[in-house]
C-alpha cells in the first residue's frame, strides 16, 4: 500500500472517532436550526407591518384634505387597493388619549398606528402657501418592542413609509423636479407602549438598543465562562484518568462527595476569576465604542435593585454549577486528555445557542417549541436574567431560577452517583448487546 495513504488512513481513524463526528454533526445541525431561526426572524422583520391609521385631522374651509391624500399614498406604497387587510382605518378613538389608542391597538392586534394630528391638513396648506412653518403632524404609536438585533428593522420600514408620504406630498404641492428638503410637510413624533408603560418621543428600536447596550455583555460573558470552565474540567478529568491520579484519589479515605465538591468548587472559582477578567476587558471595550446620545435605561425607569443583582448572581452561580455538573458527567466517560478536547465542543455549542438567540432574535420572538428548548438550556437563564428582571417577567425569573436549582442539583446528584460507580473506570459496558445507563447508579 502507498505509504502516504497508509499514514492518512491511520490519522483519519484516530481523528474521526464516533465522539468527534457526533460532536461536529450536532454542531452543524444546531447551527442549521439557528440559521433558520434567524432567517425566519429577518424575513418577519422585513415584512411591511400591518398598520392602523387614525385621523383627528379637521381641514378648515377650502383647505385641501391632505390626510385623504396620505391615506391613498399609504395604499400606493403598500401596493394595495382599498380596502386592504394591511391598512386599517380606526375610528371612534378620543383625541389626545394615548392609553385609549394603545388599548385599541391591542384589541385589534395592530402593532403600529399612524395618528394624524387635528391640524395636519391646515399646517401643510399654510406651509404650501408660505404662510406657516409648522409641518403636518403624524404621531407613530408602537405597541411592540423586539429585543433582538432584528427588532430595529420594523422601525426602519415605518421610517421609509413616512419619508415616502412626505415625498409624495411635496410632489403634489410643488410638482415636477424640486430640491430635496425644500419642503418638510411631515412632522413626526413617536409614542411607544413598552412593559406596561407609555414612553413619549421614543421608538422601539431606541428601547431595544438601550436594552442591548446594557445587557449584551452578559450573554458573551456567560458563554466565555461556560466554555472556559467546561474545557478546564473535562480536560482535568481526561488528564486525571490518563495519569491514573483519579484512581489514587478514589482509594483515599475521603468521601466521594468531597472529591466531587472539591472539583466543582475549584473549577467554579477558576471560572469566576477568568470571567471577572473577561468582564473587565469587555466593559472597557464596550465603553470605548459606545456612541453618545443613546437612550439610557435609567431614563426609561429600567434599573436593577440590590435584590435584583442578588438574583443575577444566584442565577449565574447556578448556571456555572450546572455547566460543571454536565462537564463532570461528560468527563466521566473521557478516556484520556485527547478525547477530552472533543467533548468540550457540545458544552460550547450549548452556551453559544442561547447567546446568539439572546443577541439576535430575542426569546419572545421564538416559536413556542424553540422557547421550550432555550428554556431547557440552563445557560440561557443568566443571559436573559437582566432583561427579565428589568421588564418584570416573573415566570421567566422565578421559573428559570427554580429550573436552574433543580438542574444543578440533578447534575451534581448524577455526578456523585457516577463517582460511586464503576463507570468512572470502566465506562458504559454492554450487557446482552445493550448499554445499561442505570449501571451508573450501582453503588461501590
Partner 1 sequence: MADALVVRNLSKMYGDHLAVDNVSFSVKEGEIFGLIGPNGAGKTTSLRMISTLLTMTSGQIQVCGKDMSTDADEIRKCISYLPEDAGAYKEMTGRAYLRFMAAFFTSGEEMERMVTKGMDIASLGDRIDSKVSTYSKGMMRRLLIARAIMPGPKLAILDEITSGLDVVNAFEIRDIVRNIAKNGVTVLLSSHNMFEVDQMCDRIGMIDGGKMILEGTPSELKERFGVGTVEEVFVTAAVKR
Binding site for partner 1 (CB under 8 A): 242-245, 247-248, 250-255, 421-422, 425-426, 429-432, 436, 442-444
Distance CA 299, CA 57 (A): 32
In terms of CB distance, is 87 or 423 closer to partner 1? 423
In terms of CB distance, is 91 or 430 closer to partner 1? 430
In terms of CB distance, is 67 or 419 closer to partner 1? 419
3-state SS, residue 186: strand
DSSP string, 3-69: HHHHHHHHHHHHHS-HHHHHHHHHHHHHHHHHHHHHHHHHHHHHSPPPEEEEE-----TT---HHHH
Residue closest to 214 by CA, chosen among 59, 386, 343, 334: 386
Distance CA 61, CA 90 (A): 24
Distance of CA 75 to the CA centre of its chain: 34
Supply the minimum distance, in Å, between the C-beta of residue 321 and partner 1. Answer: 24
Residue closest to 23 by CA, chosen among 319, 339, 424: 339
Quote the cell numbers at residue 53.
391609521
In terms of CB distance, is 96 or 444 closer to partner 1? 444
Supply the minimum distance, in Å, between the C-beta of residue 439 and partner 1. Answer: 9
Residue closest to 56 by CA, chosen among 104, 106, 91: 91
Supply the minimum distance, in Å, between the C-beta of residue 331 and partner 1. Answer: 16
Supply the minimum distance, in Å, between the C-beta of residue 239 and partner 1. Answer: 8
Distance CA 76, CA 78 (A): 5
In terms of CB distance, is 6 or 436 closer to partner 1? 436
In terms of CB distance, is 82 or 430 closer to partner 1? 430
Supply the minimum distance, in Å, between the C-beta of residue 443 and partner 1. Answer: 7
In terms of CB distance, is 91 or 432 closer to partner 1? 432
Q: Which positions ≥6 away from 407 have C-beta within 8 Å?
A: 318, 322, 325, 378
β-pairing, 87-89 with 186-194? unpaired
Supply the minimum distance, in Å, between the C-beta of residue 247 and partner 1. Answer: 5
Supply the minimum distance, in Å, between the C-beta of residue 334 and partner 1. Answer: 16
In terms of CB distance, is 97 or 257 closer to partner 1? 257
The C-alpha angle 313, 215, 296, rounded to 5 degrees, equals 120
Supply the minimum distance, in Å, between the C-beta of residue 252 and partner 1. Answer: 5
Amino acid at each position: 500500500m502507498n505509504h502516504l495513504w497508509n499514514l492518512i488512513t491511520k490519522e483519519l481513524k484516530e481523528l474521526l472517532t464516533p465522539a468527534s463526528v457526533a460532536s461536529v454533526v450536532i454542531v452543524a445541525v444546531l447551527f442549521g436550526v439557528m440559521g433558520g431561526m434567524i432567517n425566519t426572524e429577518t424575513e418577519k422583520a422585513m415584512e411591511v407591518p400591518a398598520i392602523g391609521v387614525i385621523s383627528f385631522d379637521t381641514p378648515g374651509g377650502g383647505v385641501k384634505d391632505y390626510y385623504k391624500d396620505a391615506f391613498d399614498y399609504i395604499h400606493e406604497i403598500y401596493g394595495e387597493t382599498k380596502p386592504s387587510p394591511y391598512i386599517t382605518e380606526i375610528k371612534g378613538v378620543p383625541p389626545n388619549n394615548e392609553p385609549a389608542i394603545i388599548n385599541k391597538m391591542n384589541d385589534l392586534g395592530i402593532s403600529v398606528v399612524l395618528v394624524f394630528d387635528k391640524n395636519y391638513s391646515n399646517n401643510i396648506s399654510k406651509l404650501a402657501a408660505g404662510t406657516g412653518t409648522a409641518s403636518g403632524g403624524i404621531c407613530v404609536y408602537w405597541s411592540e418592542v423586539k429585543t433582538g438585533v432584528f427588532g430595529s428593522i420594523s422601525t426602519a420600514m415605518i421610517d421609509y413609509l413616512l419619508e415616502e408620504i412626505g415625498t409624495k406630498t411635496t410632489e403634489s404641492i410643488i410638482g415636477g423636479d424640486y430640491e430635496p428638503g425644500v419642503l418638510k410637510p411631515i412632522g413626526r413624533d413617536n409614542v411607544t407602549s413598552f412593559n406596561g408603560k407609555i414612553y413619549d418621543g421614543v421608538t422601539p428600536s431606541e428601547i431595544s438598543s438601550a436594552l442591548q447596550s446594557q445587557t449584551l455583555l452578559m450573554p458573551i460573558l456567560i458563554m466565555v465562562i461556560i466554555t472556559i470552565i467546561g474545557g478546564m474540567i473535562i480536560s482535568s478529568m481526561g488528564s486525571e484518568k490518563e495519569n491514573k491520579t483519579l484512581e489514587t484519589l478514589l482509594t483515599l479515605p475521603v468521601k466521594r462527595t468531597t472529591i466531587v465538591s472539591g472539583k466543582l468548587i475549584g473549577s467554579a472559582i477558576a471560572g469566576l476569576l477568568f470571567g471577572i477578567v473577561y468582564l473587565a476587558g469587555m466593559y472597557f471595550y464596550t465603553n470605548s465604542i459606545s456612541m453618545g446620545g443613546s437612550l439610557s435605561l435609567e431614563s426609561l425607569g429600567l434599573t436593577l435593585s440590590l435584590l435584583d443583582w442578588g438574583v443575577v448572581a444566584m442565577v449565574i452561580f447556578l448556571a456555572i454549577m450546572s455547566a460543571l455538573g454536565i462537564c463532570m458527567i461528560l468527563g466521566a466517560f473521557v478516556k484520556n486528555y485527547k478525547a477530552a478536547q472533543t467533548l468540550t465542543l457540545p458544552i460550547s455549542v450549548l452556551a453559544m445557542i442561547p447567546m446568539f438567540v439572546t443577541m439576535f432574535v430575542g426569546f419572545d420572538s421564538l416559536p413556542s417549541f424553540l422557547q421550550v428548548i432555550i428554556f431547557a438550556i440552563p445557560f440561557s437563564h443568566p443571559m436573559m436574567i437582566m432583561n427579565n428582571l428589568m421588564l418584570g417577567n416573573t415566570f421567566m425569573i422565578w421559573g428559570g431560577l427554580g429550573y436552574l436549582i433543580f438542574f444543578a442539583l440533578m447534575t451534581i446528584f448524577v455526578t456523585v452517583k457516577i463517582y460511586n460507580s464503576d463507570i468512572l473506570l470502566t465506562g458504559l459496558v454492554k450487557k446482552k448487546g445493550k448499554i445499561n445507563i442505570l449501571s451508573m447508579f450501582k453503588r461501590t
